[in-house]
Every structure is written in C-alpha cells, then in structure tokens.
C-alpha cells in the first residue's frame, strides 16, 4: 500500500504543476501539431524521493488525447530542461517527467454524459419507493 504524500511532496507537486502548465501552454504555441487543441494538466504526482513526476493530461477533443501524450513524452527532454531552469534550487536531482492520459477524468465525463442522456422519471413512478 502506498503512503500518502507528505507535505513536502504536496508542495513540490503543486509548484511543478504550476510550472508545467506554463511550459505546456508555451509548447502549444510553439508546436503546430498542438494548435487548436485544449490541453489541461489535471494532476501531478511526485515520488517520495522527488525524482519522478507523473503528469496527467486532459485534452479536448478527447480523440487527440493519446497523440498529445505521446508528443509531449517525445519532447520530454526539452520539457525537463525548462522545468530544471526553474526548480534547480529546490532539488538535488532533477526529476524525470512522464505524461499520462487522465483516465479518471475521462470516465467521469462519460458518466456525466450518460446521466444527461437518461430519460426523466415517468409520471407513473412513485419517487418515494
């Protein structure tokens, strides 16, 4: 069973999330493959030793999610370098950054969509039963 993140991990993850959000926004402007896409960094998780960062992404349209994750992982060295420029005074070893599709959020969106499409309860049904 994994330990819950300590305060240092939480603070570091929040800082990395802020910085990575800016880096991703810049990447969208620089990379023509990402133009017209909405990319959101939904969560960042950091290992206890602060050496690995897992960044979870949401992409709209959802069909492009795997493409964007793969593209950002291909540019991982550049993203890590940009991150290192801003956090080099906070850590001894620069963390590796890996991007993943945020499946939890996608499932929640699908459930919400299904619930929206459900027909309203009939007038014959008793809501108290």
Predicted pLDDT of residue 6: 84
User: What range defines the domain where residue 48 resides?
Assistant: 7-117
The answer as to whether 79 is a domain residue is yes
The answer as to whether 127 is a domain residue is no
For residue 19, the domain's CATH number is 3.30.300.20
The answer as to whether 107 is a domain residue is yes
- Nearby residues of 33 by Cβ (< 8 Å), 6 or more positions away: 67, 71
The answer as to whether 125 is a domain residue is no
Tens digits of per-residue pLDDT, 41-72? 999 999 988 899 999 998 888 888 899 999 99
* Cα 83 → chain centroid: 16
| Strand-pair category, 38-46 with 96-101 | unpaired
Structural domains of the chain, count: 1
The answer as to whether 122 is a domain residue is no
The answer as to whether 128 is a domain residue is no
**Looking at the whole model, is its pTM more than 0.85?**
no
CA distance 28 to 79: 12
List C-alpha distances in Å: 18 to 3, 47, 54, 66. Answer: 24, 17, 14, 22
């Amino acid at each position: 069973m994994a330990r819950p993140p300590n305060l240092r991990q939480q603070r570091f993850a929040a800082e990395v999330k802020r910085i990575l959000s800016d880096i991703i926004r810049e990447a969208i402007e620089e990379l023509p493959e990402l133009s017209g896409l909405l990319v959101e960094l939904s969560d960042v998780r950091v290992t206890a030793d602060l050496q690995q960062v897992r960044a979870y992404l949401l992409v709209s349209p959802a069909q492009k999610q795997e493409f964007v994750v793969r593209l950002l992982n291909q540019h991982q060295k550049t993203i890590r370098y940009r991150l290192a420029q801003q956090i080099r005074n906070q850590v001894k070893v620069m963390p590796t950054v890996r991007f993943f599709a945020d499946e939890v959020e996608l499932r929640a969106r699908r459930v919400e969509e299904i619930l929206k499409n459900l027909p309203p309860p009939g007038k014959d049904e008793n809501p108290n039963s």
